[in-house]
């Protein structure tokens, strides 16, 4: 699959890049994408939620009333879940939401996500660039030139670029990521995938290892 390389002004250059069919042109596996995305989101959860049960709630253990002769049900301590301010029954407790997935399945999921982007023609290759200093205005201008304003965009660099990262950080619809950090969730979440010319080889290197 051949794509034309664009410059930062949104103009076509005379150069083209060839995307590896084994990465961008496989038969997508929807279930693998689902599992990998589910794992990514589960790993983001802190799992620190906690509610107080009867044994952890502070309060008197004295019986509220006598056990017999009242005509009503027996009542225990003031910490009873039936009373206002009492404990919670089977409430959430701290836990780890992460789970394991095989490396081959995660690899299949990422390749499937990239293949979907290629099939829908939502991949743009841009020549390598950088900024001397962080400036959001420059990044916004780049998106306008590429006609990606207002669209969720994921930009892939071969290596970390602090100036570009800081320039894009204030934009909700744009995100900058390294090729080695590509994951299924970010690829699927973005409407358009912008790959820098120098990161094409880095992506192939990452997924062929």
Residue 103: what pLDDT?
93
Same domain, 129 and 84: no
Asked if pLDDT for residue 47 goes beyond 70, the answer is yes
Same domain, 166 and 203: yes
Write down which residue in 77, 96, 115 finishes a domain: 96
Same domain, 110 and 160: yes
The structural domain count of the chain equals 2
The pLDDT confidence band at residue 10, using thresholds 50, 70 and 90, is confident
Asked if pLDDT for residue 209 goes beyond 70, the answer is no
pTM of the predicted model, to two decimals? Answer: 0.82
Q: CATH number of the domain that 124 lies in?
A: 3.40.1370.10
63-103 residue pLDDT tens: 888 888 888 888 888 998 888 888 999 999 999 999 999 99
The pLDDT confidence band at residue 164, using thresholds 50, 70 and 90, is very high
Same domain, 145 and 160: yes
The pLDDT confidence band at residue 2, using thresholds 50, 70 and 90, is confident
Tell me the residue range of the domain where 24 lies.
2-45+98-208
Asked if pLDDT for residue 147 goes beyond 90, the answer is yes
Same domain, 176 and 76: no
Same domain, 59 and 41: no
Q: What is the mean pLDDT of the chain?
A: 91
The pLDDT of 94-122, averaged and rounded, is 94
Same domain, 22 and 108: yes
Same domain, 158 and 63: no
The pLDDT of 184-204, averaged and rounded, is 93
Residue 65: what pLDDT?
87
Three-class secondary structure assignment of the chain: CEEEEECCCCCEEEEEEECCHHHHCCCCCHHHHHHHHHHHHHHHCCCCCCCCCCCCCCCCCCCCCCCCCCCCCCCCCCCCCCCCCCCCCCCCCCCCCCCCCCHHHHHHHHHHHHHHHHHCCCEEEECCCCCCCCCHHHHHHHHHHCCCCCCCEEEEECCCCHHHHHHHCCCCCEEEEEHHHCCHHHHHHCCEEEEECCHHHHHHHHHHC
């Amino acid at each position: 699959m051949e794509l034309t390389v664009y410059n930062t002004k949104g103009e076509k250059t005379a150069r083209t890049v060839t995307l590896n069919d084994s990465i961008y042109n496989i038969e997508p596996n929807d279930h693998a994408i689902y599992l990998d995305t589910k794992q990514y989101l589960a790993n983001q959860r802190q799992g620190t939620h906690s509610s107080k049960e009867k044994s952890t709630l502070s309060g008197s253990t004295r019986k509220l009333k006598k056990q017999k002769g009242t005509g009503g049900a027996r009542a225990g301590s003031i910490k009873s879940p039936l009373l206002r301010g009492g404990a919670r029954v089977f409430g959430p407790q701290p836990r780890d939401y992460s789970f394991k997935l095989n490396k081959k399945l995660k690899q299949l999921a990422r390749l499937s996500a990239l293949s979907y982007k290629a099939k829908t023609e939502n991949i743009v290759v841009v020549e390598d660039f950088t900024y001397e200093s962080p400036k959001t205005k420059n990044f916004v201008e780049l998106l306008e030139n590429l006609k990606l304003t207002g669209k969720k965009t994921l930009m892939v660099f071969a290596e970390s670029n602090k100036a570009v990262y800081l320039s894009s950080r204030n934009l909700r619809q744009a995100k900058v990521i390294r090729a080695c950090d590509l994951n299924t969730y970010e690829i699927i979440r973005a409407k358009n995938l912008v790959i820098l010319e120098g990161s094409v080889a880095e992506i192939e290197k990452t997924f062929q290892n």
